[in-house]
Amino acid sequence: MKYNVKIGIIGGSGLDNPDFFKDATEQKVTTPYGEPSDLLLSGKLNGIDCVLLARHGRSHSISPTNINYRANIWALKHLGCTHIIASSATGSLKEEIKPGDLVILDSFIDLTKKRILTMFNKDDKVIHIPIEPAFCSATRNIIIETAQNLGIHVHQTGTAVVIEGPRFSTKAESNLYRSWNADLVNMTLVPEVVLAKEAGLLYATIAMATDYDCWREATEKVNVANVVKVFQENVKKITKLLIEIVPKIAEKNWDVEIDELNVRELTINYRFLTFVYPIQSYRLALPMLFIYHNLIQESV
What are the structural domain ranges in the chain? Answer: 7-261, 264-300
Q: Residue 100: how many CB atoms within 10 A of its CB? A: 15
Measured distance CA(227)–CA(187) in Å, rounded? 13
**272, amino acid identity:** F
Q: Find the helix packing angle between 224-251 and 137-150, rounded to 10°.
A: 100
At residue 123, φ and ψ (nearest 5 deg) are: -80, -15
Quote the pLDDT of residue 271.
32
**Active-site residue identified among 123, 183, 213, 259:** 213
For strand 22-27 and strand 263-266, is the pairing parallel, antiparallel, or unpaired?
Answer: unpaired
Measured distance CA(174)–CA(182) in Å, rounded? 10
Q: Contact 139/202 with Cβ under 8 angstroms?
A: yes
Closest CA to 164 of 191, 184, 183, 182: 191
pLDDT along the chain (300 residues), means of 10: 94 59 91 96 94 92 97 98 96 96 98 93 72 96 98 98 96 98 98 95 96 87 78 86 96 93 45 40 43 40
In CATH, the number for domain 7-261 is: 3.40.50.1580
Report the helix count and the strand count for the chain, using DSSP H and E.
7, 13
Measured distance CA(34)–CA(116) in Å, rounded? 13
Closest CA to 7 of 21, 129, 17: 21
Note if 16 is an active site residue. Answer: no
Note if 211 is an active site residue. Answer: yes
Measured distance CA(109)–CA(126) in Å, rounded? 23
Burial 266-276 (b: 16+ CB within 10 A, else e): beeeeeeeebb
**Active-site residue identified among 16, 38, 183, 211:** 211
Quote the pLDDT of residue 139.
99
Cis peptide before 166 (omega within 30 of 0): yes
221: exposed, middle or buried (C-beta count within 10 Å: 0-12, 13-18, 19+)?
Answer: middle
For strand 154-155 and strand 102-104, is the pairing parallel, antiparallel, or unpaired?
Answer: parallel
Residues with Cβ within 8 Å of 182's Cβ and at least 6 positions away in sequence, in order, are: 93, 109, 159, 160, 161
